[in-house]
Structure 1
Amino acid sequence: MLSGDFVESFVDRGFTKIDLAVGVSGIVSMGLEILAGRVLAPRFGSTIYTWGSIIGVSMLALSLGYLHGGRTSYGASFRDLEKFMVYTTGYIFFVMFAGEFLLSAAAGLPVPPRYASIVPVAVLFGPPTYFLGYVSPYAAQLSSKDTKGGASGHFYAVGTAGSILGAFGTTFLLVPFVPTDWIYIFFASLTLIPLLGDLKALKTVSPFLVLVIGALLVTSSSVSGETVYTDSTVYQELKVSDSDGVRTLYLDGQPQSAVYLNGSGYPWKYLDFFHLPFLMRDDVEDVLFIGGGGFVGPQEFAGMGYDVDAVELDPGVVKAAQQYFNLSEGPNLQVFTQDGREFLRETNNTYDVIYLDAFKKSQVPFHLTTKEFMQLVHDRTDRNGVVVSNIISTSSGPGSKFAKAEYATMSSVFDSSYFFPTRETGLAQNIELVATKNQSLNQSVLFERADTYKRKNLTDEISMMRNFSSEDAMVLTDDYAPVERLLNPLVGRDYVVG
């Protein structure tokens, strides 16, 4: 068996410093690949285009490293191998300190949105992966094995084992619990370990050891004046910041929720549109939110006496909302930490109003957009139920492709659908898609009902109701929902928050 041969290989010859270098190169190359997804997400989204760019650039860089390493490895010494580990360490520190600047510069390049992430991936993560590609060919050349095939097979196995360890370790241990800068420091330090047994190499390594210590000190002591909380959750980068009397929750760099610090309410207008369902039926009791964020909406309606269930996928978001947005469960508010679609599939409850509020500007979980999902939402609303989907889009033009597709998808399931942009602007904005069962309402009826709604004056919100055509739009399905392509026109466009 292959695994038996692999183990026997180490029994026969022991685990050498060359093996260590190859294993470390596998850990770090795969770890950087996974970390790249987290680093790029705030600016370029966590889309299939982003991940395709990461995987493609990583494979290309490794291939070039293998090719050039094979060509230059003849007559090489372990010292020659060591220098590529040092190059990798140096570049990782460069990325750590200059990465944000490079990401900002890359985001401004005139590149079509779907290809925009290729440049920063190539600049930030291509070079260290390329350097690590040299390690295996050099190791095979330095091997004491009798045949080149035996040496190559052995080091492919060691490198792959390292990659497996790097994949699982970065995914399940580092990213969920360790800040990004510390992960950079860990990988940079790890690449130096194979050198530490070589006294001559210490002179080369010592400047980088100083960098490691300095980076640790800087990372542990640097706190932004406006940032009150940060966290790297399993799903995203989270930050809570205070500015001009407003506390804002950012997820992957995108604003998600906001409240006034003096407790006077919320600064974003789109939340007023969440009151529209109460004009569409007058006997609301049970409300469901899919997507929590700062839980501003769920707390608002629970405070009015409605029974609210709120579903949030990310436990880190729930924790931040509890600490910084006054979230607390009570008789009228229950919080469930799980995927929204999974919750709907498992629950037997039905709701008078369901809010879909789990989307970010450039990151949309496609399984919460499809016809099959909307049918599940339909089944979990009562006979005269109302559904509100809060999306980010433009109201017309190329940037409205996702809005049109989602409107068409909701319309394929519900009896009536309504389109409410929240602002008079051609920029990306919050748009409320509203759907109803067993009734059709017009603007005049809503104005009449608004006269008797005492909780909020909704005249401005009703006046934003627009006729919206989705004749040429696709209906999204589980089999085909190209949300990344539909959202492409929004990449790099200004977003009018709230």
Structure 2
Amino acid sequence: MAAAVTFLASGTVLVLEVVGLRLIAPYVGVTLQTSTAVIGCALAAIALGAWAGGTTADRSDPRRLIAPLLVGGGALVVAVVPVVRFAGALLTGAQAGNVLLLAFVAVGVPAALLSAVPPMVVKLQLGSLAETGSVVGRLSGIGTLGGIVATFATGFVLVAVLPSSVILVGAGLLVVLVGVALALLLRRRAPGAAGRLPVGLLVLALAAPGLAVVAPTPCERETAYHCARVDADPGRDTGRVLRLDTLRHSYVDLADPTYLEFEYVRAVAAVTDALAPDGEPLSALHVGGGGLTLPRYLAEVRPGTVSRVLEVDPGVVAVDEEELGLRTSPSLEVRVGDARVGLLDEPAGERDLVVGDAFGGLSVPWQLTTTEALELVDAALTADGVYAVNLIDHPPLRFVRAELATLRAVFDHVLLLARAPVVAGQDGGNVVAVASQRPLPAVAIAAGLADRQLAWQVVEGGELDRFVGDAAVLTDDFAPVDQLLTPYG
């Protein structure tokens, strides 16, 4: 019984930690800071709970406390889903305060309560001081094993087959049921020894799933990485917006693949216009899929174009197929998997165009920003092939400057396409960087931007030198992308 309770309490804390990150990501993004906040809050809760639990066990009979702690901790695990959803509506944004508060809301109190259980179990198992080491070591090992099993089961199995809300509600209710059963068993063995169960928290455990249903949520569908939703454009009957978490990620016109709503997509299209004569097919690789707006555009305006899309999230591909009219074919192939791994499998020297448009929240995944990643992109391109990548940043634009410096370390010719306030460092948003080993048609690209009614500039030469300044080059060994985007100190 001691082993089972310790295993369950410790394992549930790790389930909460793993799923808690997914629960708050739609509101504050998936960044290194988000992961750090969740892990840090969980560790703080574990430390506080273990300390308080051990201290209390020396002052009171643990038999009166273990079952109520399990019931209370389990009930609060169930309640995490609606609480985070209500709090997330108020704490949206990647500011440090929002991230830390939401991380605490997701894991803090239930993790502390459940972490108080193992030291109380240890207290009850200590028959003599001569067995202290073996008892503490055994139960510590069992608790750690529970955390390991929970981590792998959640990350590799549960998240793939169940929504986060179902995982947390199921885990919480299991802990509550074990707490109730333990209380009944202790009362049968030693009447009066077991503590009273918190009736209010039992009611909360039963009511919380209902609260989760009515709580506001950005999710229409929970994928392996995102909360996904497709919204109709009220101003355009066939327009659809793909939202991933809280962001407008892609715009697709179901009837007209040549309609490009987002400015950065039109900027990339202006680059493709300058690559080859009108209508000439291209061989294109797209790093990041989203709604596959650009692959569909190229297939329409350049018949015969062959596009391969590297998309990490199978759920997004399913949304594309079911709600955005995606039809794959030999000329429009989607490969599900990490884009960095997908780049390793690309044949050398075959792509006329590589488009980078992969994001986790507002940041490009760091492993796609480094010199090593860009060398893989370069290897996939033909001798005069072009890499065009969508980037997002805000003043002081430290990430964009670093990524441009990294591009210049790999490619001989680099351009920046951006609005004038962004170039001046007064505003942020999307920019497009263009790189090649051959001179780029800057004049033609600028004309293409104007033709598409974009008030964007083409920055090159000395002006680009001044913009980049002394920004660091990103490598696999040093790529603080999230810190460059959101400096915390």
Q: Give the TM interval when normalised to the shorter protein.
A: 0.7 to 0.9
> In 2 relative to 1, CA 337–490 (structure 1 residues): closer, same or farther, beyond 3 Å?
farther
Match of 2:334 in 1: 335
Aligned match of 2:273 in 278, 303, 314?
A: 278
Contact kept? 2:398, 2:485, Cα under 8 Å: yes
Match of 2:86 in 1: 101
Q: Deviations over 1:136-163 (max 9, x none)?
A: 1111112264433332222212211211
Number of residue equivalences: 459
> What is the TM-score of this pair, normalised by structure 1?
0.83
> In 2 relative to 1, CA 313–117 (structure 1 residues): closer, same or farther, beyond 3 Å?
same
Q: Which 10-residue stretch deviates more, 63-72 or 87-96?
A: 87-96
Contact kept? 1:295, 1:325, Cα under 8 Å: no
> In 2 relative to 1, CA 273–252 (structure 1 residues): closer, same or farther, beyond 3 Å?
same
Deviation of the 1:115 alpha carbon = 6.4
2: CA distance between counterparts of 1:226 and 1:143? 46
Match of 1:6 in 2: none
Q: SS where residue 46 of structure 1 aligns? A: coil
Is 1:433 paired with 2:418?
no
2: CA distance between counterparts of 1:224 and 1:115? 21
2: CA distance between counterparts of 1:266 and 1:226? 25
Match of 1:183 in 2: 167
Is 1:407 paired with 2:404?
yes
Trace 1:72-221 onto structure 2 (pairs within 5 A). Answer: 72-74=56-58, 75-107=60-92, 113=95, 116-143=98-125, 145-146=127-128, 147-197=131-181, 198-199=183-184, 204=197, 211-216=204-209
> Which amino acid in the other structure matches residue 120 of structure 1?
L
Match of 1:322 in 2: 321
> Which amino acid in the other structure matches residue 437 of structure 1?
Q
> In 2 relative to 1, CA 95–243 (structure 1 residues): closer, same or farther, beyond 3 Å?
farther
> Which amino acid in the other structure matches residue 401 of structure 2?
K
Q: Deviations over 1:74-95 (max 9, x none)?
A: 3414231112112213323443
Match of 1:247 in 2: 240
Q: SS where residue 468 of structure 2 aligns? A: coil
Q: Which 10-residue stretch deviates more, 202-211 or 385-394?
A: 202-211
Match of 1:387 in 2: 387
2: CA distance between counterparts of 1:157 and 1:361? 37
> In 2 relative to 1, CA 209–169 (structure 1 residues): closer, same or farther, beyond 3 Å?
farther
> Which amino acid in the other structure matches residue 68 of structure 2?
K
2: CA distance between counterparts of 1:472 and 1:116? 32
> Aligned-residue CA RMSD in angstroms?
3.0
Trace 1:333-482 onto structure 2 (pairs within 5 A). Answer: 333-349=332-348, 350-394=350-394, 397-398=395-396, 400-421=397-418, 426-443=426-443, 445-446=444-445, 450=448, 458=451, 460-461=453-454, 463-466=456-459, 467-468=463-464, 469-482=467-480
Match of 1:61 in 2: 45
> Which amino acid in the other structure matches residue 63 of structure 2?
F
Q: Which 10-residue stretch deviates more, 272-281 or 155-164?
A: 272-281
> In 2 relative to 1, CA 480–223 (structure 1 residues): closer, same or farther, beyond 3 Å?
closer
Q: SS where residue 164 of structure 1 aligns? A: helix
Q: Which 10-residue stretch deviates more, 206-215 or 293-302?
A: 206-215
1: CA distance between counterparts of 2:45 and 2:168? 19
Match of 2:284 in 1: 287
Q: Which 10-residue stretch deviates more, 56-65 or 24-33?
A: 56-65
Trace 1:32-71 onto structure 2 (pairs within 5 A). Answer: 32-71=16-55
Contact kept? 2:287, 2:339, Cα under 8 Å: yes
> Which amino acid in the other structure matches residue 125 of structure 2?
S
Deviation of the 1:294 alpha carbon = 1.0
Q: Which 10-residue stretch deviates more, 159-168 or 264-273?
A: 264-273
Contact kept? 1:113, 1:489, Cα under 8 Å: no
Deviation of the 1:461 alpha carbon = 3.8
Deviation of the 1:490 alpha carbon = 11
Seq. identity, %: 26
Gaps of 5+ in 2: 188-193
2: CA distance between counterparts of 1:34 and 1:458? 48
2: CA distance between counterparts of 1:70 and 1:225? 38
Deviation of the 1:164 alpha carbon = 1.4
Match of 1:496 in 2: none
> In 2 relative to 1, CA 334–96 (structure 1 residues): closer, same or farther, beyond 3 Å?
closer
2: CA distance between counterparts of 1:33 and 1:226? 21
Q: Which 10-residue stretch deviates more, 414-423 or 321-330?
A: 414-423
Q: Which 10-residue stretch deviates more, 365-374 or 152-161?
A: 152-161
2: CA distance between counterparts of 1:315 and 1:488? 28
> In 2 relative to 1, CA 144–463 (structure 1 residues): closer, same or farther, beyond 3 Å?
closer
Gaps of 5+ in 1: 1-15, 451-455, 492-498
> In 2 relative to 1, CA 81–406 (structure 1 residues): closer, same or farther, beyond 3 Å?
same
1: CA distance between counterparts of 2:485 and 2:217? 34
Deviation of the 1:40 alpha carbon = 2.4
1: CA distance between counterparts of 2:361 and 2:169? 31
Contact kept? 2:7, 2:143, Cα under 8 Å: yes
Q: SS where residue 152 of structure 2 aligns? A: helix
Q: Deviations over 1:306-341 (max 9, x none)?
A: 111111112111111111111111242111112222
Q: SS where residue 464 of structure 1 aligns? A: strand
2: CA distance between counterparts of 1:347 and 1:155? 49
